[in-house]
Structure formats: C-alpha cells, structure tokens
Amino acid sequence: MASLYIVATPLGNLSDLSSRAAEVLRQVPVVAAEDTRRTRGLLSHLGAAPTLLSFHAHSRERRLDALLEILGEGRDVALVTDAGTPGVSDPGADLVSAARDAGFDVVPIPGPSAVATALSAAGLTADRYLFLGFLPRKGGERQRLLARAAAEEWSVVFFEAPTRIAALLGDLARVAGAGRRAVVARELTKVHEEFRGGTLGELADYYKEHAPKGELTLVLEGTGSPPPEEDRSKEAAEQAAVLLAEGLSRREVARRLTETHGLSRNDAYRLVTGLP
C-alpha cells in the first residue's frame, strides 16, 4: 500500500530541512507541490529527481484524482507547500482527506511552521492561540473575524500579504483599540528576517510609510480574559447567519458552532433554529 507523506519544508533557510524530510524527498517517485518552481529548487539542492506535479488552490479535480491514481498504483507521493507545513492555509487538506478516505496511509513529516516560529519569538503569551490565516479582503466575513480576533482571550496569528498589512493593522486598531500590542514577523529564517513589535496604532502608522517586502506573519496580543457570555452568543449568531447564507444546513451550522464557540450541541441547535 502506497503512502502519502506530508512533508514540512524550510520557510527560507534550507538548513532547517530535517534529515527525515530530505530522505523522503529523495526516495519518493512523485512530489505534489503548491509551486513547482520553488519546489524544484529545493529538490535540486537535495539531488532528488522525482516526478513533480502541481497541486494548489486552483488545481482541477482531475489533478486530485490523478494523485489518488498514482497512490493506487503503489507509488508513494510527498505533498509539500511553498514553505512550512502543508495543510495550513493551503489546499493540502483536500488531498489528505481523499487519500485517507481511499484507505492510503497518511504519514506526517513534521518540521518548520511560520505559525510556531512567529509565536516563539514574538514575546506574547502562546500557551493557547487562535490561528486565522489570511482574512478575506472585504465583506461581512472579514468583519466577523476581525471582531473575533479583537475579543479573543489568547494570542491571534494571521498571515498577510505585504501590500495589505497596513490595512489589516488599521482595521485591527479600529476594532481592538490602537493600544493593543502586536508583533509583525517578516521573512522568517531568511537573510532579512525582522520582528517589529509595538501597538496596533504604531505598527499601522509605520507600515503606511514603510511598505514591507516578503512574507509576513502577524501575532496579536489577546485580551487576557474571556469575552462576556453575551458577546460569545452574539458572535455565534453572526457566524451562524453567515454560514446559513452560504447554503449550509442548520445541522451542519450547529456542528460548527460547537467546535468554534464551545457551545453544547443542544444550545447550538437552539440558536440556529431560532434564526430567521
């Protein structure tokens, strides 16, 4: 039975690739990559020459089927993302789920993660944290997630593009207060690695004047205390309305509320059925 290997790759510094990950990439016959150009450089560095196939957010269904067919032929596949751990803010979960459902072994090869790396050096509490990845650029879902981040008891981690970091910081300052602390991590593990901390107001002003380059991870300080019960209920109702508008069933919406807001199944279903 073939295996699907989920291989974490360096954020930038190639020395961070584990010996186990290097061994897998040298031995597997097929590698599925988010960006084949970036992965080709890593494979060349390792002296590895597997068949390289693209698998990204815009891949057609037939590419997933093709990878499952390869596994069905008894050939192992390694899944990699541009940098860091696959399945975090990329479409890797679709392939993992399909492979597991088809009965193939899914083997994680752990390693670098921008989330953990940023948290470790941000100097903000990281006993627990909320990861929100890339927020929608606009609309009600963006506003809901901004409000969720502002009310979060624990640190919140975002990914953001350089051209949009000033806007994100400004929006967070508006909903969380300009005095809330945050840290922007730029180009992690690369030559121009930088950590810039300060208040949301200070950081928003800085990045309006100094457009950054490279990949960014933002860590927002939590409130330190849980939101009032009425705030949690309001937030759950807002999320339920958005999900229902997207066409999800009330049962599925209730299930998601139990996961994201800690509601009991009965309370979640009662909330959902009470919405218009």
**CATH at residue 105:** 3.40.1010.10
Query: So what's the pLDDT on residue 231?
Result: 65
- Do 91 and 20 fall within a single domain? yes
- Do 136 and 211 fall within a single domain? yes
- Do 153 and 78 fall within a single domain? no
Which class for 250: exposed (0-12), middle (13-18), buried (19 or more C-beta within 10 A)? middle
Query: So what's the pLDDT on residue 264?
Result: 80
Separation CA 236–CA 261 (nearest Å): 7
Q: How many CB atoms lie within 10 A of CB 6?
A: 23
Separation CA 83–CA 51 (nearest Å): 19
Query: So what's the pLDDT on residue 156?
Result: 98
Separation CA 194–CA 187 (nearest Å): 7
- Do 246 and 206 fall within a single domain? no
Domain with 203 in it: what CATH number?
3.30.950.10
Query: So what's the pLDDT on residue 258?
Result: 82
Structural domain range at position 68: 3-112
Query: So what's the pLDDT on residue 265?
Result: 83
Q: Whole-prediction pTM value?
A: 0.82
Of the three residues 182, 201, 220, the one that is the final residue of a domain is 220
- Looking at the structure of the chain, the number of domains it has is 3
- Do 147 and 172 fall within a single domain? yes
Of the three residues 96, 112, 128, the one that is the final residue of a domain is 112
DSSP secondary structure of the chain: --EEEEE-B-SS-GGGS-HHHHHHHHH-SEEEESSHHHHHHHHHHHT---EEEE--TT--HHHHHHHHHHHHTT--EEEE-SSB-TTSSSTHHHHHHHHHHTT-EEEEE----HHHHHHHHH-S--SSEEEEESPPSSSHHHHHHHHHHHH-SSEEEEEE-GGGHHHHHHHHHHHH-TT-EEEEEESTTSTT-EEEEEEHHHHHHHHHHS---S-EEEEEPP-SSPPPHHHHHHHHHHHHHHHHHTT--HHHHHHHHHHHH---HHHHHHHHHT--
- Do 66 and 121 fall within a single domain? no
- Do 119 and 107 fall within a single domain? no
Give which of 140, 21, 3, 137 is closest to 84, Cα–Cα.
21
- Do 87 and 141 fall within a single domain? no
Query: So what's the pLDDT on residue 81?
Result: 94
- Do 233 and 207 fall within a single domain? no
Question: Residue-wise pLDDT tens for the chain (276 aa)?
Answer: 899 999 999 999 999 999 999 999 999 999 999 999 999 999 999 999 999 999 988 887 889 999 999 999 999 999 999 999 999 888 889 999 999 999 999 999 999 999 999 999 999 999 999 999 999 998 888 988 998 999 999 999 999 999 999 999 999 999 999 999 999 999 999 999 999 999 999 999 999 999 999 999 999 999 999 877 666 677 888 888 888 888 888 888 888 888 777 778 888 888 888 887
Of the three residues 88, 112, 136, the one that is the final residue of a domain is 112
